[in-house]
């Protein structure tokens, strides 16, 4: 099996591949990934407010997935822009588009099945322009330095629609005995190989991974950080994708994606435990102050860059009261205070340190 990287891969085989997906190494890794994901999903339910993770992890995912495409911003820039504290840079705006695309996809699958139309919606949000299946030729994946062609996806709108139809049919195949996590890996490769849009395919495909986990009932909320693992292993990610195309090496690709699920799930589980502990410490520190301790602590974690204006609006207090509460929280070491333009913001630095500076398991 050798695919000419300079010619469109018109005969891309439909899923599932005619290989053994139950080899011992795949079975072992599937079990490990499934257990880790279930543990993370259960751990997230311990948090009194799931918004704590729902706001934060999609932003981390957005930054990492954008970085895979060489769109680089920092976590600090991204969280500040998401909190309306700073004007987003072009790269930050693209990462914010990714988060909005994920949210739009999640809202969509609440009322209709995950489908090609979901992918179009997601890609439109990612790129900031109405997206349809590409009809032109000349699209290829190449080395950004040498411009050498590495892969040329299928061409022709009808050809692409045919491949996408098979992709969608496999997605919804109810009788399939393939484990959902293995199926996610197969679907992700196939979508990337079809490359149906002119731009945004990679980011769209990675959002579809998260949507599929929610759609399949494996996740209640989008709390996986798969792109964090992928960006840490970017060369291997592309090598494993190309290995399927050139050598039919589905096993190594599936194992890579299962490892991504396992390691990022372990990361999420550990973060939940630490964040829960930090929240309870904050509640204990605020007890006895006369402030609404638990509500205030939750606010610091759902909005780790908190403007005075948001504190006043959410808690229903005046500016002098907000200033009094802020001073007390600074003295307790719960937040640091910073003036940004006209805004005074309170930064939950311990929580952000936990999110930003804790590496994924290796």
Annotated binding site for ATP: 69, 195, 199-206, 237-238
Instruction: Count Cβ atoms below 10 Å from residue 277 Cβ, excluding itself.
Output: 11
User: Which of 207, 260, 228 lies closest to 356, judged by CA?
Assistant: 228
The catalytic position among 195, 215, 221, 233 is 195
DSSP 113-128: ---HHHHHHHHHHHHT
Residue with tokens 């190494």: 25
Q: What is the torsion angle, in degrees rounded to the nearest 10, for the CA atoms of residue 243, residue 249, residue 255 and residue 257?
A: 40
Indicate if 349 belongs to the active site.
no
Q: Tell me the backbone φ, ψ of residue 78, rounded to 5 degrees.
A: -70, -45
Q: Is the Cβ–Cβ distance between 224 and 207 less than 8 Å? A: no
How many angstroms separate the CA atoms of 195 and 153, rounded? 6
How many angstroms separate the CA atoms of 273 and 265, rounded? 13
Q: Is the Cβ–Cβ distance between 41 and 35 less than 8 Å? A: no
Q: Which stretch of DSSP H or E encloses residue 347?
A: strand 343-347
User: Measuring CA to CA, how many Å separate 281 from each of 140, 271, 293, 319?
Assistant: 52, 15, 11, 26
| SS3 call for 286 | helix
How many angstroms separate the CA atoms of 358 and 278, rounded? 15
How many angstroms separate the CA atoms of 172 and 165, rounded? 11
Partner residues linked to 141 by β-bridges: 151
How many angstroms separate the CA atoms of 246 and 236, rounded? 15
**Annotated binding residues:** 69, 195, 199-206, 237-238
How many angstroms separate the CA atoms of 25 and 253, rounded? 12
How many angstroms separate the CA atoms of 136 and 199, rounded? 12
| SS3 call for 345 | strand
User: Could you give the residue numbers annotated as active site?
Assistant: 195
């Amino acid at each position: 099996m050798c695919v000419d990287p300079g010619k469109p891969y018109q005969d891309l085989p439909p899923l599932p591949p005619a290989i053994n997906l139950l080899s011992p190494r795949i079975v072992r890794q599937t079990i490990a990934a499934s257990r880790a994901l279930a543990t993370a999903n259960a751990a997230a339910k311990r948090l009194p407010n799931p918004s704590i993770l729902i706001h934060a992890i999609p932003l981390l995912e957005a930054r990492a997935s954008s970085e895979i495409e060489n769109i680089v911003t920092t976590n600090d820039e991204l969280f500040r822009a998401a909190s309306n504290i700073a004007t987003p840079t072009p790269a930050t705006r693209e990462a914010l588009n990714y988060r909005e695309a994920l949210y739009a996809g999640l809202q969509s699958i609440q009322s209709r099945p995950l489908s090609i139309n979901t992918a179009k919606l997601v890609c439109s949000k990612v790129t900031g322009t109405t997206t349809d299946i590409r009809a032109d030729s000349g699209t290829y994946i190449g080395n950004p330095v040498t411009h050498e062609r590495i892969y040329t996806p299928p061409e022709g709108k009808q050809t692409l629609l045919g491949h996408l139809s098979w992709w969608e049919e496999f997605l919804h195949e109810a009788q399939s005995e393939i484990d959902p996590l293995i199926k996610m890996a197969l679907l992700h490769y196939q979508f990337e190989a079809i490359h149906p849009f002119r731009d945004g395919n990679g980011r769209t495909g990675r959002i579809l991974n998260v949507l599929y986990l929610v759609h399949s009932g494996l996740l209640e909320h989008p709390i996986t950080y798969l792109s964090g693992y992928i960006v840490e292993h970017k060369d291997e990610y592309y090598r494993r994708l190309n290995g399927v195309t050139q050598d039919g090496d589905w096993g190594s690709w599936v194992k890579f994606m299962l490892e991504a699920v396992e390691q990022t799930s372990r990361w999420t589980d550990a973060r939940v435990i630490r964040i829960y502990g930090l929240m309870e410490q904050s509640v204990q520190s605020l007890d006895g102050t006369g402030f609404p301790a638990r509500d205030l602590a939750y606010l610091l974690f759902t909005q780790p860059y908190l403007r005075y204006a948001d504190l006043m609006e959410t808690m229903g207090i005046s500016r002098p009261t907000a200033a009094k509460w802020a001073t007390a929280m600074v003295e307790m070491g719960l937040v640091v205070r910073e003036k940004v333009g006209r805004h005074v913001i309170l930064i939950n630095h311990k929580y952000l340190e936990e999110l930003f500076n804790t590496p994924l398991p290796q």
